[in-house]
Amino acid sequence: MEISAARLVGNLQVLVEAAGADVAVLPVVKADAYGHGAELCAPVLARAGVEWLGVADALEGLAVRRALSAAGIAVAEQPRVLVMCGPLGEDDAVLEHGLTPVIWTREQVERLGAAARRRGAGLVRVHLEVDSGMTRQGAAVEGVAALLCLMKENGLVVDGVMTHFASAEFAGSEQTRAQRERFAAAVRVVAEAGVRPEWVHAGNSSTIDNDAAEDSLCWLWELAASVGARAMARPGIALYGYCLPIEGEGRALVRERLRPVMTWKTRVMDVREVRAGDAVGYNATFVANEPMRLALLPIGYSDGLRRELSSTNGRAGGWVMVRGQRAAIVGRVSMNLTVVDVSGIDGVSVDDEVAVLGDGVTADDHARVAGTISYEILCGVRAERRVLV
């Protein structure tokens, strides 16, 4: 796996520009930077000047802190790290490593408060998540006032108020509109309680991409400004060069300008000629109709090459790129091995470089054949990583 630092920074710049001067950008590096390696991506993003990074849990936050320190970035200079799934019982690690947890339940408040008292940690900054209608994480709007009281009693300071949209890629989404209203109501409750958050944040990659149609970042900025806070959006997938297509009538603001950060390569380990009638791979799901030249690759589903990319005589599967041309996957993708058709590609030989993801084959291509989204493809790739500057 090759990670292009230049493309990562380029994508960040596209997002920063699209978000505008009044909306900060929190790059999300959860799930090991969507499979790209948080320890590689976090220092690149930090050097590009971001104020925040988003991770899923405290262990990821700790890994990011370590990577930033190892890259020579002093703790005082490091971006703040938002732990988006909450402390998950790792309250001590959160406090020890100066992470900022997202909080939304009474139990979380009480546990974090108790840990802070035990450690003599003083006031602890947290971000309050509001469930504005996704029904996943977050406090109900009606519960916000009581939660704020409990936070105060427990020495927690509300540094940010946030929510997450369920249908950000849908142009003109009714659900998003309703979520915005509920979030705005929650932010008003916070302000009326005399709490002054530094940050009000919402929106993922698609929220930024969908902005032309929705004006959602304008709305976010106005909401934040109304309580004297700064606005922020939280793109993840777009940093890595992908974004869901906008559903419905809408213009994508950034999608066409993003470039994939990950290239995934392997090498041809064997080339063989087969005869008509030869069956290829497990269960003979593919039988050659004519003489073919096949190349064997030392990767399979254990490396994240999805088994849904397998092919049969009746159904095409996925492909890889060999010498700049498509080579179709033939038969079943197995655990560590995959066979591709190089009959139409001249001069293929052992050790030739093969792009599994790269120019001519994207995570969206894999996702389409595998019946999933680019996110899941990228998160699933397991390969030795190298950063290209």
Pair of tokens at residue 194: 């005399």
**Which one of 204, 216, 285, 311 is in contact with ligand PLP (CB under 6 A)?**
204
Rounded to the nearest whole angstrom, what is the least distance from the CB of residue 33 to ligand PLP in the complex?
A: 11
**Which one of 237, 280, 322, 330 is in contact with ligand PLP (CB under 6 A)?**
237
User: CA 236 from chain center: how many Å?
Assistant: 4
Residue whose CB is less far from ligand PLP, 27 or 281: 27
335 belongs to an annotated ligand binding site: yes
Binding of residue 216 to ligand PLP (CB under 6 A): no
Residue whose CB is less far from ligand PLP, 165 or 301: 165
Strand partners, 388: 4
Are 164 and 84 within 8 A, CB to CB? no
Residue whose CB is less far from ligand PLP, 245 or 277: 245
Print the binding letters for residues 83-122 with ligand PLP: x by CB under 6 A, - otherwise.
-x--------------------------------------
Strand partners, 54: 28, 82
Identify which range of 86-94, 147-155, 236-244, 289-297 contacts ligand PLP by CB under 6 A.
236-244
Q: Which residues contact 212 (CB under 8 A, 6 or more apart)?
A: 250, 251, 253
Identify which range of 91-99, 199-207, 270-278, 283-291 contacts ligand PLP by CB under 6 A.
199-207
Given the residues 34, 242, 265, 282, select the one marked as catalytic.
Answer: 282
Are 237 and 205 within 8 A, CB to CB? yes
Rounded to the nearest whole angstrom, what is the least distance from the CB of residue 206 to ligand PLP in the complex?
A: 6
Rounded to the nearest whole angstrom, what is the least distance from the CB of residue 118 to ligand PLP in the complex?
A: 29
Binding of residue 234 to ligand PLP (CB under 6 A): yes
CA-closest candidate to residue 126, choices 113, 107, 143, 136: 113
Active site residue 30: yes
Strands (DSSP E) found in 178-304: 199-201, 230-233, 262-267, 270-274, 279-280, 286-287, 292-297
Residue whose CB is less far from ligand PLP, 180 or 234: 234
Binding of residue 28 to ligand PLP (CB under 6 A): yes
Active site residue 375: no
Binding of residue 236 to ligand PLP (CB under 6 A): yes
Binding of residue 299 to ligand PLP (CB under 6 A): no
The CA distance from 285 to 273, in Å, is 18
Q: Which residues contact 53 (CB under 8 A, 6 or more apart)?
A: 26, 27, 28, 29, 42, 45, 46, 64, 79, 80, 81, 82
292 belongs to an annotated ligand binding site: no
Strands (DSSP E) found in the chain: 2-4, 23-25, 52-55, 80-83, 100-103, 124-129, 156-162, 199-201, 230-233, 262-267, 270-274, 279-280, 286-287, 292-297, 319-322, 325-330, 338-341, 353-357, 386-388
**Which one of 113, 160, 235, 318 is in contact with ligand PLP (CB under 6 A)?**
235
Identify which range of 106-114, 231-239, 291-299, 357-365 contacts ligand PLP by CB under 6 A.
231-239
CA-closest candidate to residue 365, choices 380, 377, 353, 354: 377
Annotated binding site for substrate: 136, 335
| Footprint on this chain of ligand PLP (rule: CB under 6 A) | 28, 30, 84, 164, 204-206, 234-238
Q: Which residues are annotated as catalytic?
A: 30, 282
